[in-house]
Amino acid sequence: MDQPEWKSSYDNDGDRFAGIKKVLARIFGDGENPLAWGFPFFNILGLRFKIHLLMVVYLLAQLIFTMPGHNAGAVFVIPNLVAMVILVILHELAHAYVARRNGGSSAQRMLWPLGGLEPSRFEEEDPKAELRTALAGPALHLALIPFLVIPIVLLTGSWDATIFNPLSPSSSIHNLILASDQTTPWWLVTIWAFHVVNIIILLANLIPMHPFDGATILRIYLSSKRGDLAARHAVAFSGLWVATAVGLVGMVFADAKMLLAIAIVAGIVCTLERRRLQFLDYAQMVPGYSNDHKNTDSSPKSEPLEPDSPPTADLDEILEKISASGIESLTRRERRTLKKATESSRKAE
């Protein structure tokens, strides 16, 4: 039976809707990976930021609660949203800065409400560099705590406003009152919002499940004992169980509905990570590639190639890119190269 034609959504066959499809492709990619669904946001210091569709939906949904008739007003909601966007950007800038300082690359970051969805890449395996990069985000939030807590304590005269329930932070806002005139100005709410969001992002990124930094930290620890590929499998699998537990807590407690949303996103990310790892398990079907080097320090093993097969180095680079960012990250040329290699492998068999 003939194999179906390898076709990318970026291909233009004279379709009059090609322009619209190109715009949609920039947002949804090929539609295969929901983690790639995002909008170009801005560029800074050679780093391209995209904002995930989930974050756009979340921002719009939260803004609805600023309308009359809702309990939460604009004075409370808008500072929280501003704080979330700024702190998430700072979180990803910290990752990118440390990654580059340690020889890694970070050309693009996809933002979602609690951090980023795209890891930094390193040309060579360097657990210490990866660990420093993973810890950069939480370290930033730890460093910000005194700069946000001290002003609140000095202005309100107590620690009460700085202590809150992460699942229902608005319940402690009644303690946010200036000691001098017993008012709650908008700028004080803004400082408090940055403190609240900073703590929430910090706590979330310590959870050992994808896409949080805790998963990367756990994977690096396990890789020293089991090997890199086995550690990745273990973290992706355990992440599904953690996501299930978090989701159950979100369903049981009325104030924890946000945990259910986090669990759904984490479950999707962990599932996609397992799919990428399964691809690596079967990657030896492509000539010139062996995934054995994922568990050792040796270089990829070369095998005889068919006359028309692409160079081994190109295949290794493509497969590494799939491992790091998913198949939807491939360009049209890379997809055709992979298709050609796969067809050559079938002929060789």
pLDDT of residue 101: 87
pLDDT of residue 12: 52
pLDDT of residue 206: 93
Q: In what order do the strands lie in the sheet with 115-116?
A: 38-44, 47-52, 108-112, 115-116
Q: Read out DSSP for 97-152?
A: HHHHHTTEE--EEEEETTEESS--EESS--HHHHHHHHHHHHHHHHHHHHHHHHHH
At residue 38, the 3 state secondary structure works out as strand
Beta strand 115-116 with 47-52 is unpaired
Burial label, 254 (beta-carbon count in 10 A; 0-12, 13-18, 19+):
exposed
pLDDT of residue 78: 87
Beta strand 104-105 with 121-122 is antiparallel
In which residue ranges of the chain is pLDDT below 50?
1-6, 8-10, 23, 284-308, 349
- Tally of residues, the chain: 349
| DSSP designation for 51 | E
Q: State how far the alpha carbon of 328 is from the alpha carbons of 23, 285, 340, in Å.
A: 16, 20, 17
For the chain, the structural domain boundaries read 19-206, 291-348
pLDDT of residue 153: 94
pLDDT of residue 240: 94
pLDDT of residue 9: 47
Taking the complete model, does pTM exceed 0.85, yes or no?
no
pLDDT of residue 336: 76
